[in-house]
Structure 1
Amino acid sequence: MGPKPGQKTALITGCTPGGIGHAICLAFHTKGVHVIATARNPAVLTEMAALGMTTLTLDVTKEESIKACHEEVAGITGGKLDFLVNNAGRTHTHPATDLSIPDVRETFETNVFGVMAMCAAFSDQLIAAKGLIINIASLAAITPYVFGSAYCATKGAVTAYSRTLRLELKPFGVRVMVAMTGTVRSQIASKTHRTLPENSIYQRVKDVFERRLTFSQNNATVGTDEYARKLVAKALAPEWPLVLRSWFGRPDWFWAGGWAGKAWFSTWLGEWVLDVVMYRMIGMKHLERVLREEERQKKLA
Structure 2
Amino acid sequence: MANKMSPSKRTVLITGCSDGGLGAALALAFHEAGLHVYATARNPSKMSQLAALGIETLTLDILSESSIAACRSKLSSLDILVNNAGNQLTIPVSDISIPEAKSLFDINVWGHIAMTQAFLPLLVKSKGMIVNQTSVGSVAAIPFASVYAASKAAMAMFSNTMRLELQVFDITVIELKTGLVQSNLIQNQKESKEISLPEDSIYAPAKEQLEKAMRQDEFVGVGMISQQWGKLVVQDLLKNNPPPVIWRGDHAMLARIGTILPFGMLDGTIKKIAGLDKIEEKVKN
With structure 1 as the length reference, what TM-score do the two structures score?
Answer: 0.88
SS in 1 for 2:266: helix
C-alpha distance in structure 1 between counterparts of 2:169 and 2:90, whole Å: 38
State which of 7, 19, 22 in structure 2 corresponds to 1:20: 22
Deviation at 1:220, TM superposition (A): 5.6
SS in 1 for 2:74: helix
- Tell me if structure 2 keeps the 8 A contact 1:208–1:282: no
Give matches, 1:57-76, under 5 Å.
57-74=59-76
- Tell me if structure 2 keeps the 8 A contact 1:130–1:172: yes
State which of 169, 178, 181 in structure 2 corresponds to 1:181: 178
Tell me the equivalent position of 1:275.
267
Deviations 1:206-239 (Å, cap 9, x if unpaired)?
A: 2332332226725961111111001100111112
Tell me the equivalent position of 1:200.
201
- Tell me if structure 2 keeps the 8 A contact 1:184–1:217: no
Structure 1 residue 256 corresponds to structure 2 residue 248: yes
Is the alpha carbon distance of 1:223 and 1:55 closer, same or farther for their aligned partners in structure 2, counting shifts above 3 Å? same
Is the alpha carbon distance of 1:288 and 1:48 closer, same or farther for their aligned partners in structure 2, counting shifts above 3 Å? closer
Q: Comparing 191-200 with 94-103, which one deviates more in the overlay?
A: 191-200
Tell me the equivalent position of 2:137.
140
Deviations 1:34-86 (Å, cap 9, x if unpaired)?
A: 00010101122233233222211100011111111111122xxxxx2111111
C-alpha distance in structure 2 between counterparts of 1:216 and 1:20, whole Å: 19
Structure 1 residue 87 corresponds to structure 2 residue 87: no
C-alpha distance in structure 1 between counterparts of 2:115 and 2:93, whole Å: 29
Tell me the equivalent position of 1:245.
none
Structure 1 residue 97 corresponds to structure 2 residue 94: yes
C-alpha distance in structure 2 between counterparts of 1:216 and 1:83, whole Å: 35
Deviation at 1:173, TM superposition (A): 0.7
SS in 1 for 2:186: helix
Give matches, 1:235-250, under 5 Å.
235-239=237-241, 250=242
Q: Unpaired runs of 5+ in structure 2?
A: none
Tell me the equivalent position of 1:48.
50
Q: Give, as a single letter, the amino acid of the residue that structure 1 aligns with 2:200.
A: N
SS in 1 for 2:18: coil
- Tell me if structure 1 keeps the 8 A contact 2:10–2:35: yes
Q: Give, as a single letter, the amino acid of the residue that structure 1 aligns with 2:126.
A: A
Give matches, 1:101-120, under 5 Å.
101-120=98-117
Tell me the equivalent position of 1:285.
277
Tell me the equivalent position of 1:242.
none
- Tell me if structure 2 keeps the 8 A contact 1:181–1:255: yes
Tell me the equivalent position of 1:11.
13
C-alpha distance in structure 2 between counterparts of 1:119 and 1:88, whole Å: 13
Structure 1 residue 265 corresponds to structure 2 residue 257: yes
C-alpha distance in structure 2 between counterparts of 1:39 and 1:285, whole Å: 38
Q: Give, as a single letter, the amino acid of the residue that structure 1 aligns with 2:264.
A: W
- Tell me if structure 1 keeps the 8 A contact 2:19–2:50: no
With structure 2 as the length reference, what TM-score do the two structures score?
Answer: 0.92
- Tell me if structure 1 keeps the 8 A contact 2:181–2:224: yes
C-alpha distance in structure 2 between counterparts of 1:233 and 1:35, whole Å: 15
Q: Give, as a single letter, the amino acid of the residue that structure 2 aligns with 1:130.
A: K
SS in 2 for 1:124: helix
Deviations 1:89-138 (Å, cap 9, x if unpaired)?
A: 01111111111111111101100001111111111111111111110111
Tell me the equivalent position of 1:30.
32
Is the alpha carbon distance of 1:86 and 1:23 closer, same or farther for their aligned partners in structure 2, counting shifts above 3 Å? same
- What is the CA RMSD across the aligned residues, in angstroms? 1.7
Query: Considering only CA atoms, is the larger Rg found in Structure 1 or Structure 2?
Result: 1
Is the alpha carbon distance of 1:282 and 1:51 closer, same or farther for their aligned partners in structure 2, counting shifts above 3 Å? closer
Number of equivalences: 278
- Tell me if structure 2 keeps the 8 A contact 1:83–1:131: yes
